[in-house]
Structure 1
Amino acid sequence: MAIQKTLNNQLMIIQEFTDEYQFWCQNVLENSFFSKEQAGASVPPHKFVEWLKGLSLEVIDIDGRYDMRRKQLLETHYGLVTLSNTCENDRTKESFSHFYNNFRSYIIELQNFTQAIVLEEWGFDVFSGLKNNVVMKSGLQIELDRLSREGHPFCVGLARIDNFAKFEKAVGQEKADELVKTVAGLIQKTLRTYDEAYRVSRNHFIMCIKQSDISKGQRALERLRELLEKSNTLAALNDKNDISMSCCVASPTPSDEIEDLIDNLYVDLDTQIKEQGTVLTYQELSPLQRYILSDSEKNT
């Protein structure tokens, strides 16, 4: 009930933004076609602008997309204010039509942006369809607590698209985005319905493989490897680009700390996987029983 109330409050705030703009647009219309005595004061909206300026994007904006959209929305807002002044001075149908067409597009973008932010703040990565950093640590902590109380094992996997910055520079952002979305979809397909997957950076993904010992975690990475190899989309993107994926999986113990566990997985990827072109390599790292899997296309 508390969650629903909080969500409803957020949606009501979004509606307030829209209502303030609609009221302003009505006043601009009146000032454009009626006498000053008949028209109300045309005061530009301020609630959404203040919200945009105070919005914290550090946790959710792993691609820089939201910050760019925020800047564009602010620029468009001030552009609309300028157009509204032109309407009220020019007082022609053409001037108002130009303002109103831009206004309608802006309202749609405002609604799309605010709805996306609400989803992100509730833990959903809009870009990939996975969960995000907002809920990643708490989700893993729930499983660690269950392990401590009931002894149910689980595994944490970390997957990385190798040399991603180089790939994006070579083929452009559009194809790089397609690669990320494709990998995210294959990760979802790899996991069971009650498992969780999180996109934690532009090219890193964390998997929470529930009710699984290390051997089951290992098999999950094997399933992912097979799906990566069979993907026609990846095969097309991989043409002369040497796309590779590296993954590792850990089976936590009750005494582990989530942050230390994740840090160790990153260290494993950075220090243990040396050789590109290896299809599948396992390496035991006691006492955490971490395994390393390096998966890349072979040009044979």
Structure 2
Amino acid sequence: MSRESRGQVQETRWRSLLPVIGDHMEWFDALVQNLFYFEMKGKLLGVEKPLSFSDWIKGARQDGIVQGELLENLASMHKDMMRASDKLMVESKEVQVKPEFEAFQTFLNIYEEFMQRLRRLERDFLLDGTGYDPFTGLRSPKVLFQDIERELHRLSRRGKHFCIAYARVDGVEGIEKNYSEEEQKGFVKIVADLIKLSVRSFDDAYYMGQYEYVLCLKQADMAGGVSALERLRKELERKNILVRGEGGEAPLSMSCCIAQPVQGDDVRELLKNLKNDLHSSNREPDSVLEYYELSPLQRYVQETTQQ
């Protein structure tokens, strides 16, 4: 497909995405009315599931403009969202009471993440598809700071916590010494695929280059973030990828440093600190480090006690 033809198809796919977003906003409004004001029969909007998404994703699969993994991720989120809304509606009709807070919050979280993905995809179309790394299928570092700033905004507005993890393959020097460039790319791709298996559909992961990855784990505190990294380590163990080194073959492993951002954090500074901690000389391979921002006084006290 020529660049001009691709641009035309991309514009068509972008334009057809706009009514999908609008349809789901209208559906959400009608759903909320029926869940919380069911006693006002005759005055409520009808809850009709939008069909535009299934039509849009069918076309996107055919023209190949959007990565297949991203489409399947969207389809999975949409399915979960509809299943959660069906459960709310059934319970509301049967018992004629407003939904429980936790059940509605579960649905709301999926809906918000789904809509955010659609709007982000819309933006990526306008950026000529630069939102994803074509080799790994992970998010591109070009959009990392913009994505995380949005999560910080959600944290300040809604109190929705999230974690950021900086991860790096251990023994990079040995891999670069003992394997061809093509084989090295294979390791990068394998790890990216395992990361996709380890995170949830609404989490984000980015390939930063040099065997380094960033994970944005949404709606998770530090304990939840560490659990996600443990899932990644278990996937690595299960895969049992052997890497040649000075002492013979050893399983491929990764080390991670994780933090839970707070309001007012400088994203670039936080990521730099995570990376520095990960590269520190006293770190053991195959480790998960928890990073906590310290005040200047705390850092001074810590450095003094270590002397």
Relative to the length of structure 1, the TM-score reads: 0.52
The equivalent residue for 1:266 is 275
Partner in structure 1 of residue 146 of structure 2: 138
- Cα distance in 2 for residues equivalent to 1:156 and 1:258: 10
How do 1:239-250 and structure 2 match up within 5 A?
A: 240=249, 243-250=252-259
Query: Contact between 2:256 and 2:287, CA under 8 Å: does it hold in 1?
Result: no
User: Given the superposition, is the C-alpha separation of residues 191 and 13 from structure 1 closer, same or farther in structure 2, using an over 3 Å criterion?
Assistant: closer
| 2:153 partner SS | helix
Q: Displacement, 1:275?
A: 2.7
Q: How does 1:19-58 map to 2 (within 5 A)?
A: none
Aligned-partner residue type, residue 183 of structure 1: V
Specify the code of the residue in structure 2 equivalent to 1:169. Answer: K
The equivalences for 1:1-300 within 5 A come to 11-12=7-8, 121-232=129-240, 234-235=241-242, 240=249, 243-271=252-280, 273-276=282-285, 279-280=286-287, 282=289, 285=292, 287=294
Contact 2:244–2:250 (CA under 8 A) maintained in structure 1: yes
The 1:12/1:284 distance shift into structure 2, 3 A limit, reads closer
Instruction: Write the distance in 1 (CA, Å) between the matches of 2:253 and 2:166.
Output: 14
Give the Cα–Cα distance (whole angstroms) in 2 for the partners of residues 166 and 253 of structure 1: 37
2:243 and 2:279 mapped to 1: Cα distance? 27
Q: Please, what is the CA RMSD of the aligned residues?
A: 3.2
Instruction: Output the CA distance in 2 between the equivalents of 1:284 and 1:123.
Output: 28
Q: How many percent identity over aligned positions?
A: 34
One-letter amino acid of the counterpart of residue 218, structure 1: V
Whole-Å Cα distance in 1 between the matches of residues 282 and 229 of structure 2?
A: 15
Instruction: State the 1:150 CA deviation.
Output: 1.1
Relative distance call for 1:180 and 1:12 in structure 2 (3 A) is: same
Q: Which runs of 5+ in 1 are unaligned?
A: 1-6, 15-117, 289-300
Give a deviation string over 1:50-94, Cα, whole Å, max 9, x none.
xxxxxxxxxxxxxxxxxxxxxxxxxxxxxxxxxxxxxxxxxxxxx
Question: For 2:160, what is the secondary structure of its paired residue?
Answer: coil
**1:213 to partner: Cα distance:** 0.5
TM-score by length of 2: 0.51
Partner Cα separation in structure 2 for residue 195 and residue 186 of structure 1: 14
Q: Is the 8 A contact 2:162 2:220 kept in 1?
A: yes
Cα pair distance change 1:272/1:284, threshold 3 Å: farther
- The alpha-carbon deviation at position 12 of structure 1 amounts to 4.6
The one-character-per-residue Cα deviations of 1:138-182 (angstroms, maximum 9, x if unpaired) are: 111110110011111000011101232431221111221111101
Whether the 8 Å contact between 1:121 and 1:134 is mirrored in structure 2 is no
Q: Give 1 or 2 for the bigger CA radius of gyration.
A: 1
Aligned residues: 177
- 3-state SS in 2 of match to 1:240: strand
Q: Mind listing any 5+ residue stretches in structure 2 that lack a counterpart?
A: 11-125, 296-307
Shift of 1:200: 1.1
- Give the Cα–Cα distance (whole angstroms) in 1 for the partners of residues 144 and 189 of structure 2: 19
Rounded Cα–Cα distance in structure 1 between residues aligned with 2:4 and 2:146: 23
8 A Cα contact 1:167 1:241, kept in partner? no
Classify 1:121/1:141 alpha carbon distance in 2 versus 1 (closer, same or farther; 3 Å).
same
Q: Deviation of residue 268 (structure 1)? A: 1.1
Instruction: Tell me how far apart the structure 2 counterparts of residues 120 and 185 of structure 1 sit (CA, whole Å).
Output: 24
After TM superposition, give the deviation of residue 261 of structure 1 in Å. Answer: 1.0
